[in-house]
Amino acid sequence: MNTIEFHWTGTDGTCRSGVLYSLMRDAPVLSFQYDAISYVKGGMSKFVLADKAIDLTSAQVLEVEAYAVAHSTDTYAPVGMVAVSRAELGSPSGAALIGTAYDMNQAALNQKLLTEVHTNDTISAVKLGLSPTASPTTNTSRLIAGIDACIAKEVSSIHFDSKMALTPDTDIRKASLINFTGVQQEGLYRTFSTKQNAPDFIPSSDITPSRHLNGITTATPVVMLLGDSISTSGPDSWNTASDMFTILCDEMARKNPDRTFTFLNRAIGGQRWTNLLTRPEVFPAWYGDSSQLWLDAVKGSAPDIVFLAFGMNDSNGFAADAVRRCVNAINSWPKVPKIIFITNPLPARTTQLNDGFGFVGPDFQEGRDNPAGWVRSWARVHGYGVIDIHRAQVAMRDGYDVSKNILVHQGSYTPETLPGGALRSGAPSVDWSILGTVLAGAWPVGKVLSCKTGSIGEAVLVSNVAGKFAIVGFSDDGATVSVTSTKDVPTGTFEIGISVVDNMATVVVDRDACLSIPIVRRGGRYNLIVGWQDDLTTGPFNALEFSTGYPARGQFNRSLTDEETFGPSSPIADRKPVYGGNGVNHYSSVGVEKLVRPVIEAADLTLSDGAWERNEASTLLAGIGTVVAYRRNGMVQLEGLYTPSANAVALFQLPAGFRPPRAMRTPVAWLHTPYSVLLNIAADGMVQVEAGWIGQPIDLSSVMFSI
């Protein structure tokens, strides 16, 4: 058993010794954790052995020698020692000296400590030297050493009985290999304690065949995969069955036994979204004429379905507009295929390649959150299906759902703490909400309030347009969504709430909903900047409440490690023994079976029986959104989110052939609320809402009728 042993010499020349099983230190106070034999109470001045208290600062003690010893069976092997004089025993320097004997051999001590202390593959953080009173730096360094020791001894969990101070945003590379339980800790990056009895993450389908895979009537569909090296056939694999492409082919064939597929893998390693839009940097044999654009080189195959899977190589250089432009280009092909997105995973936090540069830490992990979040958001807003590898991996590795955030109040601001009436947040977040007080006359006509997340192009602008509130949502690909409400800007003092949650930006005035619009967003965390568009250092607020949205921590069992997903780490990204993978970002056979296969199997890749004809309503009259009508076998189903700008007026008109035989009324849901309103659909295809919260989006997916 690993211990700290103290020897002290008395004035009578005798030598006594005692053994302490566990130590917690934060100079200048030295304290010990009781464990079966001994206990030091009230700092470092009293030592208790066999229920007999000995005062170490008494005249009978000449000095104390603190030994860090490794105790195995019947031998004691000193691994560190420091002598502390009687005069130093009660002083901060004495505590620091004794602590030195411990800290200088932390790794060796932890290795020995784990030999006998842990039970059921779990060890207490206290046993690793962490303390509620220790500094963040001390606790973090001890935790790093403790994780190394746990991995060496095959201990799977570290339990926290209390909150420990840890260095903010510290990315411990091997933290994904250890499960944390108990009290939730603050500070560590993407590392949270798993809640007791937390469930495993179960992937679900973000594909609805009647919307995303409709209209494919051929008995011999052509399926094409475009992506980077993760999508190529068997990257760093020992076999041809353990890769994403093979599983995708198998699942398409399994769910459509009446079809005979042709599968084309047109992925190229090392490429980005911008390469798909232009040309790759390398040209495989199938490419042919290297002067062709990538999309031109493959469109002649006339695929019925195209899967798009990029993002791992985009990182912080991700060009959001490339996604939109690639989709537009594919939709301009002579034969327009169905498009399904596959989000990218995150690279291993454990990798030793380039000492982790390019893969480890917030910049590079969130650099991959960025494109994955954008693709998920863009597809949701524009009506495309998604196979969400990224969401599943984060839930299984880090224990939280990137799609479900909880708003947490960060602070209240007064005129004294809100200089200029503007806000510059120092708390990076995913979602956000502000609730501010605006004094009479502080928001004049023509003034535009900018709510901008960091330096990227995502922003929400709220304006006073001729005395009415207007909202504009800017996405990072240059696309905008705007609407002007019927809500007057109050002339007196009023309260305004502005929030971005998931894909929706919402404005609420005096607790009465005003406007809401869809907005495409990147993944990851960003700082919020709120102020007048012409001068971000000033704004309209006299007081402000600020909340940030984060995923619920520890909500899922952490059932997947980086080494399971990609193979063991090493300084070289090569094919790893037994299970394959490259230790960085190519799947091992374990990662394929635990992550990739369950996500693809959960996706509903069944091609619709018969053809659903798709038609977008081109006449949008009083509001904003996307309205898509599907028709098959005498039935019409609507799809899309639509934000009305007025009650009891025509919102949009369904095209001929997609209209009911007579006027009808049907309930539809207000998005993100428990309420519904009635939708009137006339025989001429004109659609209106009878009454409701104007400026709030309605979900049209529940509307279905016979024609």
Q: Residue 638 pairs with which residues in a beta bridge?
A: 629
Among 130-139, 412-421, 662-671, 678-687, where is mean pLDDT lowest?
A: 662-671
Q: What are phi and psi of 58, to 5 degrees?
A: -75, 170
> In the predicted model, is pLDDT for residue 703 greater than 50?
yes
Dump the DSSP string for 572-621.
Answer: S--PPTTT---SSSS--HHHIIIIIHHHHHHS--PPPSSPPEEEE--EE-
> In the predicted model, is pLDDT for residue 276 greater than 70?
yes
How far is 45 from 370, CA to CA, in rounded Å? 54
Among 40-54, 368-382, 633-647, 664-678, where is mean pLDDT lowest?
A: 40-54
- What tens digit of pLDDT does each residue of 530-581 get? 999 999 999 999 999 999 998 888 889 999 999 999 999 999 999 999 999 9
How far is 602 from 69, CA to CA, in rounded Å? 53
How far is 276 from 491, CA to CA, in rounded Å? 52
- Cis preceding linkage at 28, omega within 30: yes
Q: By percentage, how much of the chain surpasses pLDDT 90?
A: 42
Residue with tokens 């120092």: 426
E-assigned strand segments in 93-243? 122-124, 157-160, 179-182, 193-194, 222-227
Specify the higher pLDDT residue, 691 or 505.
Answer: 505
When mean pLDDT is compared over 195-204, 415-424, 454-463, the highest value belongs to 415-424
Q: What are phi and psi of 319, to 5 degrees?
A: -105, 100
Confidence of residue 41 (pLDDT cuts 50, 70, 90): very low
Q: What is the pLDDT of residue 267?
A: 98
Q: Both tokens of residue 303? A: 């695929």
Distance of CA 374 to the CA centre of its chain: 12
Q: What is the pLDDT of residue 38?
A: 30
Domains and their CATH numbers in the chain: 2-194 (no CATH), 209-401+557-602 (3.40.50.1110), 405-551 (2.60.120.200), 613-706 (2.60.40.1830)
Q: Residue 212 pairs with which residues in a beta bridge?
A: none
Which DSSP symbol is given to 197? T
Q: Please compute the mean of the pLDDT values over residues 579-600 and round it to a whole number.
A: 96
How far is 41 from 38, CA to CA, in rounded Å? 10
Roughly what angle, to the nearest 10 degrees, separates helices 92-103 and 106-113? 60
| CA dist 464 → 252, 434, 485, 490 (Å) | 52, 18, 10, 10
Q: What is the pLDDT of residue 209?
A: 87
Q: What is the pLDDT of residue 50?
A: 36
- What tens digit of pLDDT does each residue of 333-373 get? 999 999 999 999 999 999 999 999 999 988 899 999 999 99
Which DSSP symbol is given to 335? S
- Are the C-beta atoms of residues 612 and 666 closer than 8 Å to each other? no
Q: By percentage, how much of the chain surpasses pLDDT 70?
A: 77
- Per-residue burial over 83-110, b if 16 or more Cβ lie within 10 Å, else e, is ebebebbeeeebbbbbbbbbbebbebbb
How far is 184 from 176, CA to CA, in rounded Å? 16
Confidence of residue 617 (pLDDT cuts 50, 70, 90): low
- Are the C-beta atoms of residues 698 and 669 closer than 8 Å to each other? yes
Q: What is the pLDDT of residue 635?
A: 75
Specify the higher pLDDT residue, 386 or 23.
Answer: 386
Specify the higher pLDDT residue, 659 or 454.
Answer: 659
How far is 206 from 251, CA to CA, in rounded Å? 15
The β-bridge relationship of strands 61-72 and 75-85 is antiparallel
How far is 374 from 364, CA to CA, in rounded Å? 16
Q: What is the pLDDT of residue 18?
A: 39
pTM of the complete model? 0.73
> In the predicted model, is pLDDT for residue 57 greater than 70?
no
**Strands of 423-424's sheet in order across:** 423-424, 528-532, 448-453, 459-465, 468-474, 480-488
Which DSSP symbol is given to 247? H
Q: Both tokens of residue 65? A: 């020698």
> In the predicted model, is pLDDT for residue 186 greater than 50?
yes
When mean pLDDT is compared over 50-64, 249-263, 512-526, 628-642, the highest value belongs to 249-263
Amino acid identity of 701?
S
> In the predicted model, is pLDDT for residue 611 greater than 50?
yes
Q: What is the pLDDT of residue 362?
A: 87
The β-bridge relationship of strands 459-465 and 468-474 is antiparallel
